[in-house]
Amino acid sequence: MSDLTYTNLTNEVKIRKFDCNIIKNEEQKFVLGKLTARYSIPVIVKEEIKPKQIIKGENGDIIIDMGKNIVGWLQFSCHNLPKNFEIVLEFGEILQNNNFFRENLRNAQQQFRYVSNGKKSVKIHPHFTFYGFQYVRLTNWPTKNVNINDFLGLSIYSDFEQIGFVKTSDSLVNKLIDNILWSQKDNFLDVPTDCPQRDERMGWTGDAQSFSGTALFNSDCYAFYRKYAHDLALMQTFNDGMVPNVVPYFGPREKLIGGKCAWGDSACIIPWNVYLFTGKKQILEEQFESMKSWVDWIKNHGNQNQNHRNSNSQTKDPIQNDFTHENNYLWYGGDLQFGDWLALNGPTHPKVNIKRTKGGTDTTFLCSAFYYYSTSLLVKAAKVLGKSEVVDKYSKLTENILNSVRNEFFSKNGRCAVDTQTAYIISLQFGLVPKSQEKVIFSQLFKLLTKKEMHLTTGFIGTPFICRAISDAGFPKYAYDVFMQTDFPGWLNQVKMGANSLWERWNSLLPNGKVNGATMNSFNHYWSGSILEWIYRNVGGIIPIEDKPGFMEFNLWPQPGSKIEEIYIKYDSPMGTIKSGWKFIDNMNVRYHFTVPFNTIGHMKLENADASECKVINGTICLKQDERNVVADLSNGKYIIQCPYVQKEFEPTAKFN
């Protein structure tokens, strides 16, 4: 990425052949890399956006409001400018006190300077850089009255096709879904950037892996992730398998840093998710050595911090009071880990009286959990590729890691020593406890949620899984309670405050309209949009099956919640269009709608239902009773079923209250 991306660009149209190749061959060094066909899809102008209004700031500035936070360029027309006349455009995300604001961009100038060549009429936009902006400040505009029709926003992003579509009966939820998709577009410019505006704009691996499930539901991004995974593997070759924090890395090789849990694990998580959604083994074949080298790097380096447990954790006395030889398969975290980044439960910093950004979950617990998860994904990939020796070797490693985690962090009856929402969420989602003890873990999670009046305290690691873990445990009511909160902290709180993209922090903007600190505060960060995967999987019920990747077969397990009256999901899978939806009828019954494409099977499950009370309105279905659920295998066709709605309440075990 060139320096122009971060600084300012001057377009002097009087210079002819400004972007032509005028460098002689003999001045160039030989290229050492191997030439290959292009992996990724191109970045192009995908949408044109007309400005919403022209604002006069309190200080007299002329500001163009695009109406939404976009990434790309502002195209403008000029007429009858004298030669050498200079116009300056500055780009920002937000206003403060009705004035232009750019302090949250840090060192990025986000500026475009145009010097006229004296032509009668010109239409200009830059093409060596991009900007993240909603507002543009004009300096030295040639006319007193600015014509809004002289400006046009050009939104650029990778040329992927949208394949997932979600609509609900709730306007705030619909706006959130729009914001999630929009922030994905704004940050998918050849690499999945963390943010598109400040002096960063990097392919942070943690953001990329946590959002990958949502992205694969939203869009056909096989080529996009294949290229990113390829770059990641190249970076590993310089570092004995360690995954950098950002990919691609473009600084001095000796300053490259990485090896962070949940960030480095993108080496395993992204290829597996791409395979699961597309069914293409090629991604596993290409990335298998990358996956294996990452697991090996942890195995070889994970014990280095065993005497430096981080001081940020909210860990009760460990079940084992010291690290015994039985626990030597843990990955010891240390203070250099990012932890549950931006979680709200970190201890207060003693000097500046703010919460630490790493959160309060023990990093050795998190590191070891992701070590187990990545190793299990490596084993699954090896099974798909028929690598039996790898399966045998790393299956044993997976077992040893799990036993070490259980010995160190869990009592014999399943009580977890790490008392945070994220620890319980990861325990459930990664299968760190036996099925028989999941109720104990959920009881601990339920206790913390109740204390917070069903508000989350999670960060980068816990947030993608919180509603999925609650729903998968069989209690979707409480997942809806968490998701539908409209005050701080929560997804819908941002929407109520006028957000048109996702924010970096839960409280990037304070209720009084002030920016909550400018040093690390982006208004276009997609990481929390991972909640949309829960909507696809649990609310709508469309779930890929590992043994039948690419939706050759899939589950239809919708979990309605009374806080949303109706939902409709359309997903263009590799096998064809899948549709799933439901609607409450008179608050007592739920009417389900399903569409299953040719040559597939949708395995339907309606929870807490009685087959004798279900009514088939359309389609031929053989309903069966499976304990408290109604199940059926649906072949190609359209189906409508109506059942009484039963909401399952959780009854905490008295012992763990």
Q: For residue 103, what pLDDT band results from cuts at 50, 70 and 90? A: confident
CATH of domain 3-158: 2.60.120.260
pLDDT at position 308, please?
45
**Taking Cα atoms as reference points, which of 630, 530, 653, 548 lies closest to residue 213?**
530
pLDDT tens digits along 541-593: 999 999 999 999 999 999 999 899 999 999 999 999 999 999 999 889 999 99
Residue holding tokens 């409709």? 568
What is the 3-state secondary structure of 209-230?
HHHHHHHHHHEECHHHHHHHHH
Domain(s) labelled CATH 2.60.120.260 in the chain stretch across 3-158
**Taking Cα atoms as reference points, which of 589, 584, 582, 579 lies closest to residue 614?**
589
Q: Which of 126-130, 253-257, 327-331, 410-414 has the highest mean pLDDT?
A: 410-414
What phi, psi does 230 have (nearest 5°)?
-60, -45
For the chain, the farthest-separated pair of C-alpha atoms sits apart, in whole angstroms, at 82
Residue holding tokens 């397990």? 557
Q: For residue 477, what pLDDT band results from cuts at 50, 70 and 90? A: very high
Taken in order 230, 250, 366, 181, the sign of the CA dihedral is negative
pLDDT at position 36, please?
82
Domain(s) labelled CATH 2.60.420.10 in the chain stretch across 549-644
DSSP class of 87: E
Domain at 549-644, CATH homologous superfamily: Maltose phosphorylase, domain 3 (2.60.420.10)
Do residues 165 and 39 touch, judged by C-beta distance below 8 A? no
pLDDT tens digits along 53-74: 999 999 999 999 999 999 999 9
Q: Pairing mode, if any, of strands 637-644 and 589-596?
A: antiparallel
Q: Is residue 310 scored above 50 in pLDDT?
A: no
Taken in order 443, 444, 445, 449, the sign of the CA dihedral is positive
Average pLDDT of every residue of the chain: 90
SS3 315: strand
Question: How far apart (Å, rounded) are the C-alpha atoms in residues 524 and 501?
Answer: 6
Do residues 103 and 56 touch, judged by C-beta distance below 8 A? no
Q: What's the average model confidence in pLDDT over 4-31?
A: 52
Distances (CA, A) of 227 to 230, 234, 265, 283, 593: 5, 11, 17, 10, 37
Residue 606 parent element (H or E)? strand 601-606
pLDDT at position 319, please?
37
Q: Is residue 4 scored above 80 in pLDDT?
A: no
What is the 3-state secondary structure of 229-255?
HHHHHHHHCCCCCCCECECCCCCCHHH
pLDDT at position 325, please?
45
pLDDT at position 109, please?
78
Query: Pick the residue with more confidence: 428 or 322?
Result: 428
Q: Is residue 197 scored above 90 in pLDDT?
A: no
pLDDT at position 134, please?
96
pLDDT at position 504, please?
93
Least confident of 304-308, 545-549, 650-654: 304-308
Burial degree of 576 (CB within 10 A; 0-12, 13-18, 19+): middle
Q: What's the average model confidence in pLDDT over 588-600?
A: 97
Do residues 422 and 636 touch, judged by C-beta distance below 8 A? no
pLDDT at position 8, please?
54
Q: For residue 355, what pLDDT band results from cuts at 50, 70 and 90? A: low
Q: Is residue 29 scored above 60 in pLDDT?
A: no
